[in-house]
Structure 1
Amino acid sequence: MEQAGKRPLAEEQVRKQLEKTGETPFIFETLDIGMDPNVFLPMQQLNEMRRRALAELEKQICRQYHRELRANPENRENRAVFCDREEIVYKNTNERSVENRPELTILTETIEQFRTVEVFAEEYRGIHRVYVDSAMGGDLFRTPEALLICECLQQSGVEVYLAMPHIFRNETEALFTAQYAEKIRDGFDGILVRNLESIRFLERIGFDRNVITDHNLYVFNRYTKQFWKENGIAQFTVPLELNRQEIKELGIEDGEMVLYGNLAVMISAQCVEKTTRGCRKKDGMTVLTDRYQNQFAVRNRCRECYNVIYNSAPLYLLDLKEEVRELAPKRVRLQFSVEDKKQTEQILHAYRESFVLGKQTERMPEDYTRGHFKRGVI
């Protein structure tokens, strides 16, 4: 709770948010609210408090029925364990220690990557959240397979967040408002935003679940972190411009850190494909080659009419487990963009080997960058 700066939190607002028990097995018969008259709390934090309280209540109720399946002496390495809903279950008992391990999130842009993550989620139950790009398949909301995977992941306990477009023009806002507003409000556990226009859109449609800023909406210091909290956004992605010491000074105990990804070096409204071959009005990939023969993948997003130009080498920090743990991020992210199925699998298993099994992974890309992690802004 904070001292209210302008408009204090009303009891009616608190009651309305707390009574939204949704698809949980609970409803309130009575709800007594005791609060100071001049306090403020962002709606997101209030919603998160409600979700955690109901999850803990369900956990406590189920605990009395908790039981374990004794290990099969002929197969000690891989054994099944009945456990509480929030306890992470692994096939290999060496993976059961979760002390000091940040939550894992994964961002996917293609349906092939999304399928691969779904299969991995069946094998490894430690995925906390998956971000699905709104333009997946050209238009996520018109791609039945992607929507089905979203439902399957949510049913298995994985949060599914919608990743909004990098550019959100008036035309896109009109489309989302007219056709997708209800699906966005009810179908996703939260939203990843990359621009202020998306935040305004979410406010207009009454979205009241979690919102997290992407790394380009800078949380460069504690002042900007506080700014977003005061405006109802408590989750953030660590800026890629900060080095290790600057990240430590910022404090990311409530932040999300990107450990892998072919990151965007430019978002451009000038379409490479339209300039070189003519507009096909269809999403696709093009490659730019610089004078050093470095190749930069370019994805054209036709619905919003912009290009994403990706770095020629991915950010890779998966082998720096101890340095990452020292920073104590709440979550770490694997960010897939141009990867095929094999490359996606390679990175997923590299994370598991390093952060879960504690092994020195050998599944490293041939070419990679540390970004600014060890040097900072020049």
Structure 2
Amino acid sequence: MKSDISDGLRQRPFSQPSLQRPELLAPAGNWDCAKAAVENGADAIYFGLDRFNARMRAQNFTEADLPQLMTFLHRRGVKGYVTVNTLIFPKELAEAQQYLRTIIAAGVDAVIVQDVGICRLIRHLSPDFPIHASTQMTITSAAGVEFAKSLGCQLVVLARECSLQEINKIQQQIALQETSLPLEVFVHGALCVAYSGQCLTSEALGGRSANRGECAQACRMPYDLIADGEVVNLKDRKYLLSPQDLAGLDVLPDLVKSGVTCLKIEGRLKAPEYVANVTRVYRQALDVVMTELERPNPLTPFPTREGGIKTPLSAMPNGRLTPTERGWGRGQSNQEHYNLEMAFSRGLYTGWFGGINNQELVHARFGKKRGVYLGEVSRIHNEEVTVKLEAPVKPGDGIVFDYGHPEAKEEGGRVYGVVCKGKESVLTFGRNDLNLRRVHIGDRIWKTSDPELDKQLRQSFAGENPQFQRPIDLEVYGEVGQALIAIARDQLGNIIQVESVISLQEAHTKPLNTGRLQEQFGRLGNTPFSLGTLTNHLSGAIMLPVSELNRMRREMVAQLEELRSQPKRWELRSDVSFQDLLPSSSPLSPLSPSLIVLVRNLKQLQTALKAGVETLYCEFEDPRAYRDAVQMVRQLRQQSPLPTIWVAPPRITKPGENWILQQVRACGADGYLVRNYDQLQFFATDRCIGDFSLNVANPLTADYFQENFGLERLTASYDLNITQLQDLLTSCPPQWFEVTIHQHIPMFHMEHCVFCAFLSTGTDYTNCGRPCDKQEVKLKDRVGTEHILKADIGCRNTVFNGTAQTGAEYVQRLIELGLRQFRIEFVNETPEQVSKTIHRYRQLLQGEITGSQLWRELKLQNQLGVTRGPMGVSALRS
């Protein structure tokens, strides 16, 4: 009988809920953060080790921590994902391979990856170990999901710039194409202004590559806006590239209904209190949303935990909330929004979930943490500050006075006393705590610290006993003369069975009914479990001593904990190596070095044609102008078979933007400079060259693109310095590559439109008046460099480094290694500058001048691509 019951239960499937509950994924930069996440309801955490992760400034874990950390997580029913989300250079492949073997053997649940070659290596080492495609892979479409699947990925983290509408469209398209993979989205935290994986700003300005986990956050710095040579007076708006922090709390119903599998919280550099705070808010909110959406009529208003009524976003016009409806307007904070603002806030906004609104995404008034807005100073008298409070404040709270210059030292301190006087409140401070002579009427006041909240948050993950419990479902069977059988299942699918050592007896009083079973089996304090549903299948009025029920409960807990803590046994091949995937070498090309010129307007193109350039690339804002460019080249070709013209589509392609690619192809160019996964697919039957945005940094990545897409050449990643570039050229056939040796580095590439946000009152391209067509705009940084701003056909902006960079001094070494294709790029240079530059680089390639001579003459920054400081043999980056 026991065997029949057990076998039948194991085979019977659970009924599936109508809506999938997304996994809540929290960040962990150290052990305390990991505990904070677990004790506040995270379903999984993601963390980096001491190499190859995109948050190298975090404390991070070590490889030696992995066994203990994974045991802790799994015992608590939480998954652990390791970030290996940086580009990997050729000489690092051996180390990366050993690193991956350690991760796989430790039973980690998945690894989050940016580098295409590393995806290949993982799948070569293990056929079943899960790979998650990082947001650093810049996936914005169904074609990107399909690309990730071809690499062996099991999940895709979408770019943060994807709206709810676009997420739904991607879901529909991948379902139709049968390439469906689970999708993960960021739901809260710092919002990068540039597309992840496409930001070269930190590298260009300070040698700290975002693609190597060393972002210096140049987007959070102040800039002046210069339009047509004049500084635009934006008053206190200086932080033109610093978005408000992402908060998807009020779009949770829509995210769940979109079918996303995982909701990710940003913050591996944040404190454990932040992790505890934000994780708890989203855990509770998600539970409420799931309850609401599973109701018969989920569009009706539902009660909040605060006792109010909340209307789901899905019932709002256009799926959008006003600032007041979001609860973030002054005086409108409920507890959830208060907690999120106190956790860390540059202002909270739904980011791109609701579509593009350039007026709201970036308020531009500060780029650092503020907290909760309290109001404006109305009076200062006798060491007292009067304010009409718009949020609660109490003694002990920390505040700061904001007078519109966040780059300067600001006055602030702890509140000593709060006295209400009618509609106003008087704040007092400890003697000598702050200098009130530096505080002004009209200054904004922000609460930056709440010690009472911090104490509560720390208590949530203090101590050794579990504080967050996850439900287990129980089924109980038995009849007189037989053992009591209890079968327990957790949410992860683990199942165990315990039996009583005492037979069930007929009960004359107090039989084991459902209530008594729930009482005894529900005593799960100080364990990771709580009792979920209990199904009573007992036959007749029967009894069992309480002591035996307690023993069964303890055994049930022990068995479940033991079962959970077993490490995942992924297949790991011992007889394979990354060397198996390296491409074959080939003889060096006897051809002479060739100069490729990329131009960004027709005047530059005309100049390059006059200079006799054989290979031309065009990257214009309006692809319709490509027809004129191609025609210009065709007319010249009537006299000669050369030159060839290649045109570039925009760097990003989103759902519904194939019309742009069709417009590009309509020009009839000789080939296309492809930048993303959609373009690899769309131009599959055309001649194509892979641009730098494909992030080719090692031979495994290069081989994948060459073998699978038939590209004529690849542009080496701009993250490579000269030594790493040499390593790439010696590990692959050098004729696969071209190298950009002169350019204004494209630093930021972003969905945020600076033209629209600060030179119009419009929200997007439909109502901005297109100032990008009328004005030349630059952004001046703190050291006075004026960086060039350009828009593309999709209204995405690129900020180009104002200082051109050259790798001229290394050209001869690259030629000796077999490289034959050298690219130079122009942005806003005059025809005269274009002509002079082309002439000098042609002389360089022909050996008529040295790289040092060219550099001195053109007065350029002596760099190849984007590297750390002036490049020299003794100052190469490791």
Into which bin does the TM-score normalised by the smaller protein fall?
0.5 to 0.7
Matched to 1:286, the amino acid is V
Give 1:109 deviation, angstroms.
0.9
Matched to 1:368, the amino acid is Q
For residues 165-314 of structure 1, the aligned pairs below 5 Å read 165-177=650-662, 179=663, 181=665, 183=666, 187-203=668-684, 208-234=685-711, 235-251=713-729, 252-278=734-760, 279-281=768-770, 282-283=772-773, 284-301=775-792, 303-314=793-804
Q: 3-state SS of the aligned residue for 1:231?
A: helix
Give 1:141 deviation, angstroms.
2.6
Matched to 1:263, the amino acid is I
- Mapped partners of 1:376, 1:165: distance in 2: 33
Give 1:264 deviation, angstroms.
0.1
1:129 matched to 2:615? The reply is yes
Does the CA-based 8 Å contact 1:242-1:376 persist in structure 2? no
- Mapped partners of 1:246, 1:175: distance in 2: 35
Aligned partner of 1:148 among 610, 618, 631? 631
Shift of the 153–238 alpha-carbon distance from structure 1 to 2, 3 Å rule, reads farther
Does the CA-based 8 Å contact 2:651-2:693 persist in structure 1? no
- Mapped partners of 1:359, 1:367: distance in 2: 16
Give 1:175 deviation, angstroms.
4.1
Q: 3-state SS of the aligned residue for 2:789?
A: strand
Does the CA-based 8 Å contact 1:259-1:318 persist in structure 2? yes
Does the CA-based 8 Å contact 1:100-1:325 persist in structure 2? no
Give 1:166 deviation, angstroms.
1.4
- Mapped partners of 1:332, 1:143: distance in 2: 23
For residues 110-129 of structure 1, the aligned pairs below 5 Å read 110-121=601-612, 127-129=613-615
Shift of the 315–154 alpha-carbon distance from structure 1 to 2, 3 Å rule, reads farther
- Mapped partners of 1:324, 1:237: distance in 2: 14
- Mapped partners of 1:307, 1:376: distance in 2: 31
Shift of the 102–292 alpha-carbon distance from structure 1 to 2, 3 Å rule, reads same
Q: What residue is the counterpart of 2:648 in the other structure?
A: 163
- Mapped partners of 1:348, 1:255: distance in 2: 20
TM-score of the superposed pair, with normalisation by structure 1: 0.63
Does the CA-based 8 Å contact 1:108-1:114 persist in structure 2? yes
Shift of the 276–249 alpha-carbon distance from structure 1 to 2, 3 Å rule, reads same
Residue deviations 1:257-291 (CA, integer Å, cap 9, x gap): 11111120010111111111113324353110111
Give 1:143 deviation, angstroms.
6.2
Give 1:377 deviation, angstroms.
5.8
Give 1:173 deviation, angstroms.
1.1
Residue deviations 1:88-119 (CA, integer Å, cap 9, x gap): xxxxxxxxxx9763222111111121111011
Shift of the 310–236 alpha-carbon distance from structure 1 to 2, 3 Å rule, reads same
Residue deviations 1:134-153 (CA, integer Å, cap 9, x gap): xx3x5243466423213135
Runs of 4+ in 1 over 6 A off after TM superposition: none
Shift of the 327–115 alpha-carbon distance from structure 1 to 2, 3 Å rule, reads same
Does the CA-based 8 Å contact 1:314-1:369 persist in structure 2? no
- Mapped partners of 2:682, 2:590: distance in 1: 38
Does the CA-based 8 Å contact 1:265-1:309 persist in structure 2? yes
- Mapped partners of 1:364, 1:273: distance in 2: 35
Aligned partner of 1:326 among 784, 800, 816? 816
Shift of the 323–239 alpha-carbon distance from structure 1 to 2, 3 Å rule, reads same
Q: 3-state SS of the aligned residue for 2:618?
A: strand
Shift of the 245–366 alpha-carbon distance from structure 1 to 2, 3 Å rule, reads closer
Q: Which moved more, 1:345-354 or 1:146-155?
A: 146-155
- Mapped partners of 2:877, 2:795: distance in 1: 31
Matched to 1:255, the amino acid is F
Residue deviations 1:158-209 (CA, integer Å, cap 9, x gap): 11111121122234313443x554x25xx22211011112222224xxxx23
Shift of the 300–315 alpha-carbon distance from structure 1 to 2, 3 Å rule, reads same
- Mapped partners of 1:277, 1:129: distance in 2: 37
Residue deviations 1:48-69 (CA, integer Å, cap 9, x gap): xxxxxxxxxxxxxxxxxxxxxx
Shift of the 199–277 alpha-carbon distance from structure 1 to 2, 3 Å rule, reads same
Does the CA-based 8 Å contact 1:270-1:307 persist in structure 2? yes
Shift of the 376–236 alpha-carbon distance from structure 1 to 2, 3 Å rule, reads farther
Does the CA-based 8 Å contact 1:261-1:336 persist in structure 2? yes
Give 1:355 deviation, angstroms.
1.8
Q: 3-state SS of the aligned residue for 2:834?
A: helix
Matched to 1:273, the amino acid is F
For residues 6-17 of structure 1, the aligned pairs below 5 Å read none
- Mapped partners of 2:843, 2:593: distance in 1: 15
Structure 1, gaps ≥5 residues long: 1-97, 122-126
Give 1:120 deviation, angstroms.
0.7
- Mapped partners of 2:590, 2:707: distance in 1: 31
- Mapped partners of 2:756, 2:877: distance in 1: 34
- Mapped partners of 2:616, 2:862: distance in 1: 24
Corresponding residue pairs, total: 264
- Mapped partners of 1:146, 1:347: distance in 2: 21
Does the CA-based 8 Å contact 1:169-1:304 persist in structure 2? no
Matched to 1:334, the amino acid is I
Aligned partner of 1:109 among 583, 600, 604? 600
Q: 3-state SS of the aligned residue for 1:241?
A: coil
Matched to 1:228, the amino acid is F
Q: 3-state SS of the aligned residue for 1:216?
A: helix
- Mapped partners of 1:220, 1:320: distance in 2: 18
Residue deviations 1:288-328 (CA, integer Å, cap 9, x gap): 01111111110122x21111100121121234442232332
Shift of the 269–333 alpha-carbon distance from structure 1 to 2, 3 Å rule, reads same
Shift of the 100–189 alpha-carbon distance from structure 1 to 2, 3 Å rule, reads closer
TM-score of the superposed pair, with normalisation by structure 2: 0.29
* Structural RMSD (CA): 2.5
Shift of the 176–100 alpha-carbon distance from structure 1 to 2, 3 Å rule, reads closer
Shift of the 171–286 alpha-carbon distance from structure 1 to 2, 3 Å rule, reads farther
Q: 3-state SS of the aligned residue for 2:679?
A: helix
- Mapped partners of 2:776, 2:848: distance in 1: 36
- Mapped partners of 1:227, 1:143: distance in 2: 30
Shift of the 294–165 alpha-carbon distance from structure 1 to 2, 3 Å rule, reads same
Shift of the 286–316 alpha-carbon distance from structure 1 to 2, 3 Å rule, reads same
Q: Which moved more, 1:259-268 or 1:245-254?
A: 245-254
- Mapped partners of 2:647, 2:626: distance in 1: 14
- Mapped partners of 2:633, 2:645: distance in 1: 6
Give 1:214 deviation, angstroms.
0.7
Matched to 1:169, the amino acid is K
Does the CA-based 8 Å contact 1:241-1:377 persist in structure 2? no
Structure with higher RCO (Cα < 8 A, 6+ apart)? 1
Shift of the 245–285 alpha-carbon distance from structure 1 to 2, 3 Å rule, reads same
For residues 338-377 of structure 1, the aligned pairs below 5 Å read 338-356=828-846, 358-360=848-850, 361-362=853-854, 364-370=857-863, 371-372=866-867, 374=872
